[in-house]
Structure 1
Amino acid sequence: MSNAIFTSTPGYGDTLLEMLHYRQAVRVGDRVEISGQGGWGRDLSFPVSFPEALDEEIVQAFENVERTLATVGASWTDVIAVDSYHVPTAADTIGDDHTSVMVEQFRKRMGDRAPIWTQLGVAALGAPGMRVEIRVTALVGQSDEDR
């Protein structure tokens, strides 16, 4: 039986553990689950120039996923599933301004490997002004033929 190993991302993860009593990642055997990662900086700050910085916020969320995965010995190449949560810029659709940056980051970070992906539009996220949050599941150490 595998034990659950919980970790906090250095910086904001330690702050969130203290403030809100939750961890950023858990690894059980080869399976990794991370909590939703937003486009915040190490000090939980967000890009200042809304809405122009939407792409920066999404890229930073991908960076934060990468940092969090690393705390449990995983990387984007281990990711098998992505759930992304978006506050839409239009009333009834997530829109290409979100989707195109997400797809660009998938290709940049995962190459030819494509995870399963659920993209959800939501009314609000956990912090004021936050427009994207990304949660992933990973299986560490898969062979290339499994991909």
Structure 2
Amino acid sequence: MLRALALAAGLLAAVPAAAQTAPQYPVKIPAPGGEAIIPNAMYQREYDEVGYAAARRVGDTLYVSGGIVARRKDEGNDEAAFKAQTLRTYKQLEATLKAAGASWDDVVMVNSFHVWDSPNFTGKPMDQIRVMTEVRRSLSSAPAPAWTAVGTTGLLAPTGIVEVQVIAHMPKK
């Protein structure tokens, strides 16, 4: 009898675990005029805990939340390190664009927020702009997007150098 009860309890405990399957990414959540896009589990946590979507599509326009170009613990603060950090961030943005069905070729607007005097980058402001342009061109053959670059005193990430937000045009197919 005890053995049967233990077996039944084990089966009941397994049912919720089996019923709770991991979501298939990207997750697209219907929203007024379009959808919120969650490309992966990391962004799912951000959506659930912080309350923002990695991307939001409204009509033919896709708004992608900012990605932060930041220096990691063992990275340098010279131009070569900044280029690698920028590529890493642009690849993150590219993954979000792809999850929404877009690419860098669809980007029509870039907004960037720069900590010009950051100890995490030893170059000048135009060095940041030049490197960011080189990286974007390596990912897109489309005409250049519009771009607004703004200086700021800090970003959410303590070692952040630049935050990059993009807007893409995505006509329905």
Unaligned runs of 5+ in 2: 1-31
Report the secondary structure of 2:100's partner residue.
coil
What is the identity, as a one-letter code, of the residue corresponding to 2:97? L
- Deviation of 1:77 (Å): 0.6
Of 72, 95, 111, which aligns to 1:83? 111
Name the CA distance, whole Å, in 2 between partners of 1:121 and 1:94: 12
Name the CA distance, whole Å, in 1 between partners of 2:157 and 2:110: 20
Write out aligned runs for 1:19-58 (5 A): 19-39=49-69, 47-48=72-73, 49-52=75-78, 53-58=81-86
- Tell me the residue number matched to 1:61: 89
Report the secondary structure of 2:160's partner residue.
coil
- Tell me the residue number matched to 1:145: none
Q: Does 1:137 align with 2:167?
A: yes
Report the secondary structure of 1:133's partner residue.
strand
What is the identity, as a one-letter code, of the residue corresponding to 2:77? P
What is the identity, as a one-letter code, of the residue corresponding to 1:102? M
What is the identity, as a one-letter code, of the residue corresponding to 1:47? R
Moved more, 105-114 or 115-124: 105-114
Moved more, 7-16 or 129-138: 7-16
What is the identity, as a one-letter code, of the residue corresponding to 2:110? V
Percent of paired sites with the same residue: 29
- Deviation of 1:124 (Å): 0.5
Q: What is the number of residues matched between the two proteins? A: 135
CA shift in 2, pair 1:8/1:99, >3 Å: same
CA shift in 2, pair 1:68/1:12, >3 Å: same
User: What's the TM-score once normalised by structure 1's chain length?
Assistant: 0.79
C-alpha contact (below 8 Å) 1:47/1:56 kept by paired residues: no
Moved more, 123-132 or 2-11: 2-11
- Tell me the residue number matched to 2:48: 18
Name the CA distance, whole Å, in 2 between partners of 1:112 and 1:139: 12
- Deviation of 1:131 (Å): 1.0
C-alpha contact (below 8 Å) 1:38/1:60 kept by paired residues: no
**Counting helix residues as a fraction of each chain, which structure ranks higher?**
2
CA shift in 2, pair 1:57/1:97, >3 Å: same
- Deviation of 1:14 (Å): 1.9
CA shift in 2, pair 1:20/1:90, >3 Å: closer
